[in-house]
Amino acid sequence: MISEAFDRSRITALRHAVAARAEEAGMTGARLDDFVVAVNELLTNAVRHGGGTGHLGLWAQDGSVFCDVTDHGAGLGALIPHRPPPDQPGGWGLWLVRELTDTCEIKTGPDGTAVRISSRTDAKS
């Protein structure tokens, strides 16, 4: 559905494209909104922390929409599996991504980070 390299200038256009393609795949309502917010967080993180560019892949399969976002940054430090403290100024993006999607897989190392998320299209909004 989508396979595209991006930098900061492409985030808004990609967010709109993701919303359109996910809706075409059958995602609606709050689930669609949540998925688009999650993708936006991943795009923003790739630009801010992953070297300024990345690659987005989006596709629908078996009643779900999947999204891969990869970058070539230095990798993530320790991944916090729980909600960050309320007074913590950063670290909320990946937590939010996990909360807003059905699955979230993160692979990270010194050559970059890859995040795959998915959400079902038929779940209730």
Indicate the angle between helix axes 11-24 and 29-49, nearest 10 degrees. 150
> What's the pTM value of the predicted model, to 2 decimals?
0.91
CATH of span 2-120: 3.30.565.10
The mean pLDDT value for 67-73 works out to 96
**pLDDT above 90: percentage of residues in the chain:** 74
Please report, for the chain, the start and end positions of each structural domain, with discontinuous segments joined by +: 2-120
Instruction: Decide if pLDDT at 113 tops 90.
Output: yes
Reduced 3-state DSSP string for 66-124 = EEEEEECCCCCCCCCCCCCCCCCCCCCHHHHHHHHCCEEEEEEECCEEEEEEEEECCCC
